[in-house]
Amino acid sequence: MNTLQKDIRSIRGIGEKRAQALGKLGVFSLFDLISYFPRRYEDRSRVKPIALVQDGESVCISAVCGDEPRLSRIRRGLEIVRFHAFDSSARVNISYFNQSYVRNQIHRGESYRFYGKMEVRGSLRSLTNPVFEPEDAPFSVTGAIVPVYRLCAGLTQRTLRQSIQAGLDQCLSEVPELLPESVLRDFGLVGAREAYRAIHFPEDFASLELARRRFVFEELFLLSCALGMRRHDAAAGIPLPLPDFEAFYSQLPFRPTSAQRHAISEAAADLASGRQMNRLLQGDVGSGKTLAAAALIWQCARAGHLSLLMAPTQILAQQHYQTLTAFLSPMGLRIGLLTGTVKAAERKSLQKKLDDGELDLVVGTHALLSEGLRFPRLALTVTDEQHRFGVEQRARLAKPEEGGRKELPPHLYVMSATPIPRTLALIIYGDLDVSLLDELPPGRRRVETFCVDSRYRPRLLAFIRKLCGEGRQVFVVCPKVEEEDAESAEAPSGQLLSAVEEAERLRKELPGLRISCVHGRMKASEKDTVMQAVLEGLVDVLVSTTVIEVGVDVPNAALMLIENAERFGLSQLHQLRGRVGRGVHQSYCVLVTDSETKEAKARMQVMCETADGFRIAEEDLRLRGPGDFFGSRQHGLPEMHVADLGTDTETLMRSKEAAGRLLRLDPGLLLPQHAALRERVEMMTEKMNGTLN
């Protein structure tokens, strides 16, 4: 059996109990153990003369024990061992609480290294509970850069360090080198064995840095291989003849913008090319992405093929269904809707229509991906806000329909209003071509944006009354109240109004207005009923959590009021604001916040100043840092352990290139020298499949 896969209980000192504790950290095999990297390091490598140590400094000293350690019992359950030690510069008082064994390990006249936090009061110096080892012992807990691990109950730093040390001794010689020789050379990376040793027990900070660089590269290389292998077969595609789009444009209720025309012709050429299209359409909220999709669906239908359009939420699918029906059914297209709430009988009849070739487009949620559905003649899949879907769902969209025409995969069109830095988009979406909608339809008025504090509430209420009196509609958005918030002292739940509470309050404050509420805990069908009523003008004020964030279009809405606006990211605020100003009326966005922090103020300022989604995304990155931006699994990629997808972009690009070169030589990683690599890439793929939002 492979030593790397051996159970950790084979290590001396790891019994049932410790193995259980390690299991909680995801550590089962020797390889897991040596792959459990430190969270941080303590620099105990430099030994300082006692006299030079400052108050509060954590430091390593080398000193002689000056008297026999004395044990005193202060009270029941509290014992202290005390002695003093000195070097040539000064002396220090040392005490240990409840560690009476120390008395038998430290002796007068002998030399030790101590590491701990020094307290200095005038000429009095003291160390409490320092770690120590005899001066002549090999460096282990002092005199070195010492790793500090994340622990759980049942483990101590000392046992974990010793176990990892033992683990390395046992299996390091069998750790395979995943990275090809040429990659190591080209990028100046240290080998796997050296790196595993140095990441735990570095000789100095330079070798730690080298080890870290190697693991960042390795992790991103594995990711790049995993993503690359998913698409190495994307090539031939169903050819869809290029139509004359003037026939399409002339039937629209408005003139397409030149950005829309441009984006449509780019994608249409892909569809006609005989190769599979893989294209991302990036456009700010309200830039009219749906129309571009409609044009391609039309092209597809004219060639006798089916299209799918998938949206991340029920409400959005519904709305796309309506919009696309309005555009396309006058042109003779037949359109179906499939969401999670569609009954079995309806599903069956939808499937029959699909089998009989009676549909040109099916709009839906990820219910479209459910087992057992067949889409004969499928040639185009459009996804809206695809980053909200997992990688595996995306992969399924790209698969050819079984029994479909010549097994060719459908073309992929991805629409997104989330401006993603280009390098990251490349990784997430692969070798996507990108079209940009950088122009808003004409006649749009800028959404007037204000930031106020909660003392303005009476005036805001009057404003809501006025707008609703004129027949407009109003959105009020509250942050989601997480369970955690309710308990944490920082955000007492009393200050964070939940959508439900806010709706209650508004009903009292605004008698006579029709006020509804949608929030995440409602069933999809309930949300739908409410949204439908909003679209039909039966609701004056809609209070919600961010469920309305993506895409829903209510042209009559003229005010977006955001409570506790400091709780939202800038990009999110921008998306929310994009929900109004979609009709002919002057629209407003009011950000309510009582936060006095500099960061919150800066963010509100940006919102009031600019309406440019890309600028806002950049500011968001700058103000919140990449960790946050790419956090919460927005991107559908597995969690990285050493790499940071936000900041390690340079390495990301390089590792992607290297992976690309390797996969061109050995697309399936089937060569014997790539066996270990393939195994790890498969693990990465598995992790990705588990990443569903």
| Strand-strand pairing, 306-310 and 433-437 | unpaired
Closest-CA residue to 285 (of 575, 654, 480, 641): 575
CA distance 592 to 643: 37
3-state secondary structure of 404: coil
What angle is formed at CA 159 by the lines to CA 157 and CA 164, rounded to 5 degrees?
A: 95
Residue 34 or 317 with smaller CB distance to Mg ion = 317
Residue number, 8 or 415, with CB nearest to ligand ADP: 415
Residue with token string 């030690």:
85
Q: 30 contacts which partner out of Mg ion, ligand ADP, none, CB within 5 to 8 A by kind?
A: none
Residue with tokens 């009011």: 590
* Residue number with the smallest Cβ distance to Mg ion: 551
Binding at 285: pick from Mg ion, ligand ADP, none (beta carbon under 5-8 Å per type): ligand ADP
Closest to ligand ADP by CB, 575 vs 593, is 575
What's the min distance (Å) between Cβ of 414 and Mg ion?
12
Comparing C-alpha atoms, which of 355, 555, 347, 363 is closest to residue 443? 555
| Exposure letters 390-408 (e unless 16+ CB within 10 A, then b) | bbbbbeebbebbeebeeeb
Question: Which of Mg ion, ligand ADP, none lies near 170, with the C-beta cut-off 5 to 8 A by kind?
Answer: none
Residue 257 interacting entry, from Mg ion, ligand ADP, none, C-beta within 5 to 8 Å by type: ligand ADP
* Contact string 530-569 vs Mg ion (x = CB under 5 A): ---------------------x------------------
Token pair in block for residue 312: 């991340």
In the complex with ligand ADP, the residue whose CB is nearer, 417 or 424, is: 417
Per the DSSP assignment, residues forming a β-bridge with 591 are 451, 562
- Return the structure tokens found at 635: 């991107």
Considering the complex, what minimum distance in angstroms separates the CB of residue 295 from ligand ADP?
Answer: 11
Query: d(Cα 176, Cα 29) in Å, to the nearest integer?
Result: 15
CB of 633 to Mg ion, least distance (A): 22
To Mg ion, the closest distance from the beta carbon of 570 in angstroms equals 19
Q: x/- binding map, residues 496-535, to Mg ion, per CB under 5 A?
A: ----------------------------------------
Q: Quote the tokens at residue 432.
A: 């996507």
Nearer to ligand ADP, 11 or 285 (CB): 285
State the nearest-atom distance from the C-beta of 384 to Mg ion, in Å: 6
Nearer to ligand ADP, 124 or 584 (CB): 584
Angle at 323 between CA 317 and CA 326, to 5 degrees: 140
Give me the phi and psi of 335, to 5 degrees please. -125, 135
CB 51 within 8 A of CB 69: no
Q: Answer left, alpha or beta for residue 98, where phi above 0 means left and psi between -120 and 50 means alpha.
A: left
The smaller minimum CB distance to ligand ADP, of residues 207 and 571, is found at 571
The pairing of beta strand 448-452 with beta strand 335-338: unpaired
Tell me the closest approach of the beta carbon of residue 381 to ligand ADP, in angstroms.
Answer: 17
Q: Which is nearer to ligand ADP, 192 or 554 (CB)?
A: 554
- Residue 420 partner contact from ligand ADP, Mg ion, none using kind-dependent CB cut-offs of 5 to 8 Å: none
Helix (H) or strand (E) segment spanning residue 42: strand 40-43
Q: Choosing among ligand ADP, Mg ion, none, which partner's interface includes residue 569 (Cβ < 5 to 8 Å by kind)?
A: none
How many residues bind Mg ion (CB under 5 A)? The answer is 1
Least distance between Mg ion and beta carbon 668 (Å): 38
Residues that bind ligand ADP (CB under 6 A): 254-257, 260, 283, 285-291, 417, 441, 551, 553, 555, 582
Q: Is 351 exposed, middle or buried (0-12, 13-18, 19+ CB in 10 A)?
A: middle
